[in-house]
Amino acid sequence: MGESITFWVLAVISVIAALGLVFSRRAVYSALMLGVVMISLAVLYAVQDAPFLAAVQIIVYTGAVMMLFLFVLMLVGVDSSDSLVETIRGQRFWAILAGLGFAALLALGIGNAVVGAPRGLAAATQAGNVPSLAELIFTRHVFAFEVTSALLITAALGAMVLAHRERSEPKPTQKDLSRQRFVAFGKTGKNPAPLPGPGTYARHNAIDMPALLPDGTISPLSVNRYIARYEESQGILPPEVARVLEQEEAAQRANGHSTPTLADEAGDDGPDTEPMTDEGVVAGRVVGARGEARSEEDGK
């Protein structure tokens, strides 16, 4: 009875989470959903007399693999939300059809394959679950076990080889970098000093607090564009920040060029790259959104 309740609760949760994994726009949500599914499954393992696997599931999957996923997501860009518009004709229709058909067939097939009540593992695990498993792994499956160890080492090496990037030129020293900054200043007037940290002369040192210049106005360089965009979408962007961004936008339009940014300085990306961290463009979006928001306010 207890098992039934556990199963039904976890089954519903895991199916919903799996659907969420597939259909959420943001990759981070997908990862979290996957975590939910994995933990649910871990509990189901535990229920089914597999405490060792449940522990390994939590440790390896939710602990290591999921972290790896999130880590790579951060590397690649959290911001990259998937567009849900399908580009391959018929792909979605056939995918869902195949999924439904496959689920139905599998359920029919495996569902009917089992006859009778489960035998239970009591007989097989008289010495306890973990010792029994250990005995099997180190006796009957020892060869496979050794091979998996080789596989893991190979995988680790492979990952290193794949992720390693050979440096084609000597690493720039601080002197080189400084010289570059001043050359850029001479050419474009870009501020050679570091960006001002958030919250200077302010009550908070949180990242969403822009720095104040000595005259008390906001330094546009210190505005975090992600946060500004989020606040814009939520309608909680402070008016003085919005004003500063607007002024900057106007100044840019007057000059006909955008101020050089950190992203440009990174500089090794070609023209076809998605400018995820291009603050100039982000600022433009923010301002655009801001304008819409204002018209809404005017409407009110």
Window 189 to 218, contacts with other proteins (CB under 8 A): none
DSSP code of residue 64: I
Is the CB of 106 or the CB of 195 nearer to other proteins? 106
182 scored as a contact of other proteins (CB under 8 A): no
167 scored as a contact of other proteins (CB under 8 A): no
* Least distance CB 97 / other proteins (angstroms): 9
Do 99 and 93 form a contact (C-beta atoms < 8 A)?
no
Q: Which tokens in the block code for residue 222? A: 């210190």
- How many residues bind other proteins, per CB under 8 A? 95
Q: What is the DSSP string of 138-165?
A: HTTTHHHHHHHHHHHHHHHHHHHHHH--
CB atoms closer than 10 angstroms to residue 218: 21
Window 64 to 83, contacts with other proteins (CB under 8 A): 64-65, 68-69, 72-73, 75-77, 80, 82-83
| Whole-Å CA distances, 125 to 2, 51, 54, 122, 173 | 22, 12, 16, 5, 62
Please give the Cα distance from 40 to 17 (Å, whole number).
Answer: 10
Please give the Cα distance from 286 to 253 (Å, whole number).
Answer: 15
- Which position among 5, 163, 193, 236 is part of the footprint of other proteins (CB under 8 A)? 163
In DSSP terms, which residues pair with 218 in a beta bridge? 212
Is the CB of 150 or the CB of 193 nearer to other proteins? 150
Window 129 to 148, contacts with other proteins (CB under 8 A): 132-133, 136-137, 140-141, 144-145, 148
* Least distance CB 210 / other proteins (angstroms): 29
Looking at 60-68, 173-181, 237-245, 285-293, which segment touches other proteins (CB under 8 A)?
60-68
Window 270 to 299, contacts with other proteins (CB under 8 A): 270, 272-274
- Which position among 9, 60, 207, 251 is part of the footprint of other proteins (CB under 8 A)? 60
* Least distance CB 84 / other proteins (angstroms): 9
Q: Hey, CA dihedral for 145, 149, 151, 155, is it positive or negative?
A: positive
* Least distance CB 262 / other proteins (angstroms): 16
57 scored as a contact of other proteins (CB under 8 A): yes
Q: Which long-range contacts (CB under 8 A, 24 or more apart) does 93-101 make?
A: none
35 membership: H or E segment, kind and range: helix 27-47
107 scored as a contact of other proteins (CB under 8 A): yes
Please give the Cα distance from 58 to 39 (Å, whole number).
Answer: 6
Window 14 to 43, contacts with other proteins (CB under 8 A): 14-15, 18-19, 21-22, 27, 30-31, 34, 37-38, 41
- Which position among 5, 123, 254, 266 is part of the footprint of other proteins (CB under 8 A)? 123
Write the binding mask 245 to 274 for other proteins: x where contact by CB under 8 A, - elsewhere: ------------------------xx-xxx
- Which position among 2, 5, 109, 167 is part of the footprint of other proteins (CB under 8 A)? 109
Is the CB of 57 or the CB of 259 nearer to other proteins? 57
CB atoms closer than 10 angstroms to residue 54: 20
CA 240 to chain centre: 31
Please give the Cα distance from 83 to 92 (Å, whole number).
Answer: 14
Is the CB of 70 or the CB of 289 nearer to other proteins? 70
